[in-house]
Amino acid sequence: MNFIIKIFYSVVVNLLIFLSLLNAQTNNQHPDLVFPKNWSNPTILPDHVILTFSEDPSTTQSVTWRTNTSVKKGIAEIALADGAPRFWRNLIQYTAVTTLMNADEILTANISSNYHSATFKNLIPDTLYAYRVGDGEHWSEWFQFRTAAKIAKPFSFLYVGDAQNYILELWSRLIRQGYKTAPEARFIVHAGDLVNNAHHEIQWHEWFTAGGWLHGMLPSVPTPGNHEYRNYNTEEESKNISHLSYQWPYQFTLPQNGPDLLKETVYFFDYQNTRIISLNSNRLIKEQVPWLDSVLSNNPNKWTVITFHHPVFSGAKGRDNKELRNLWKPLFDKHSVDLVLTGHDHTYTRGQSPKAKNTITGLNKKDGATVYVVSVSGGKMYTLSEDLWNEYTDAKLDRKAENTQLFQVINIDGDKLKYEAYTATGQLYDAFDLIKRYNKGNQLIDKVKQVITERSHTNTIIYENSKKY
């Protein structure tokens, strides 16, 4: 009898706990953070310091930063990094290009700033440097970065999907955990929707604050998402006119090797025997085809990784991108692209699609195919479609997730590409290896049996609306 009472008591207690948690989650609308007035305004001190690649990563490095408009001149100083604190005695000084960003009349920006950009040149490959930026009197701290090697050497990089919402409060923990997990990563790929409203100065300040000093140490490789396009004013909104984020060309110094109308959103660079390509899936997707075909045709690198925002294969309901798939996937097949990294769906899916016309004897769903990944790093979550990838006859889904902030670590070492996806709490969620086999296609070694249980809305935190956070 006592045993039955204990069981009954345990069931009642657990039910009460569950109901209280459910009620707490239902009532938690998680409002956006409220920031003090002028919180995001620039000052005379450098902020938004960020590294990007604009030329050869082995001999150059670009840095961009922001000040208020009273700072008319920008200076960047660089020296070989050394354990001795006075390494700066051997510094070289660069005068930055200073550009006024007048966004006073841009909806949600309403600010003017000076942006300063410098590109360090004639650097020694595979060498650690220290640098700082300022105006000659007001300086940032000293940051460090390492140039790429001229030859093929092992390296890793991070990749994240949409930061977009709850950037400072939730994306910050994700990006910091990413750096903690892969402190030797050489750059980070941002697959679009870095912010929610393209020109929103406070959201961009959240993004820079969340990443903090990481932006000044770990070069960023951004590609624009649909939320990087918005109207400048209410009149344009009524006419459905949108523009690339007003801040984009000012705060990112990116390669100028893309099509004329898509500079600094479509580009490529080579890093230690890997070609990284950014495409713009928001604009002129047909016009990018000849450029992409040329860049892939004249590619001397062993590995090819492409990033853009909208998925080739979508796992979310009503978000299929058929035109993009029909235009771009044949090129991925033709040139045996290894990995495609996207965002947009606010879920996680990873799978493969073999070449449309199988010309390699013995290929199957696991071999010789491009791997397609969709991921999300911010706090906004959607629900996977019931059909998932079943509507695609030429694709096979291998791993999925809902309601989970994720970052990815990609390591390239000779003939092996190692891929790992981690949750914001550092748990390994997905993993596979690609082994390069010449004239036979890549071999995929799936490691899903070594990771945690698949996550969905039904086995994670309960929300009032499971479709969105």
Q: C-alpha distances in angstroms, 152 versus 129, 270, 388?
A: 20, 11, 38
- H helix intervals, 42-186: 172-181
pLDDT at residue 464 in the model: 54
Average pLDDT over residues 318-327: 94
pLDDT at residue 77 in the model: 98
Least Cα distance to 256 among 53, 49, 98 occurs for 53
Please give the backbone phi and psi of residue 393, each rounded to the nearest 5 degrees, phi first: -75, -15
pLDDT at residue 42 in the model: 98
Give the single-character DSSP code of 169: I
Average pLDDT over residues 116-132: 98
pLDDT at residue 38 in the model: 93
pLDDT at residue 20 in the model: 43
pLDDT at residue 98 in the model: 98
CATH superfamily membership of 47-146: Purple acid phosphatase-like, N-terminal (2.60.40.380)
pLDDT at residue 80 in the model: 98
pLDDT at residue 317 in the model: 81
Residue in the structure block whose two tokens are 């947009």:
344
- Residue 124 clears pLDDT 90, i.e. is over it: yes
Mean pLDDT of the chain: 91
Over residues 279-292, the pLDDT tens digits come to 999 999 999 999 99
Handedness of CA 314, 366, 191, 54 (dihedral sign): negative
User: Letter for the amino acid at 202?
Assistant: I
Q: Any idea which of 23-37, 194-208, 290-304 has the lowest mean pLDDT?
A: 23-37
Average pLDDT over residues 228-246: 96
Contact by Cβ (8 Å): 343, 294: no
- Residue 246 clears pLDDT 80, i.e. is over it: yes
Reported as a pLDDT band with limits 50, 70 and 90, residue 2 is low
Over residues 350-387, the pLDDT tens digits come to 999 986 544 443 444 445 799 999 999 999 999 999 88
Contact by Cβ (8 Å): 135, 98: no
- Residue 444 clears pLDDT 60, i.e. is over it: yes
CA 113 to chain CA centroid, nearest Å: 25
Give the single-character DSSP code of 167: I
- Residue 26 clears pLDDT 50, i.e. is over it: no
- Whole-model pTM? 0.91
pLDDT at residue 372 in the model: 98
Average pLDDT over residues 241-268: 97
pLDDT at residue 354 in the model: 81
155-450 classified as CATH 3.40.50.300? no
pLDDT at residue 19 in the model: 45
- Residue 178 clears pLDDT 90, i.e. is over it: yes
Average pLDDT over residues 46-69: 98
pLDDT at residue 7 in the model: 52
Contact by Cβ (8 Å): 273, 303: yes
**What's the longest Cα–Cα distance across the chain?**
84
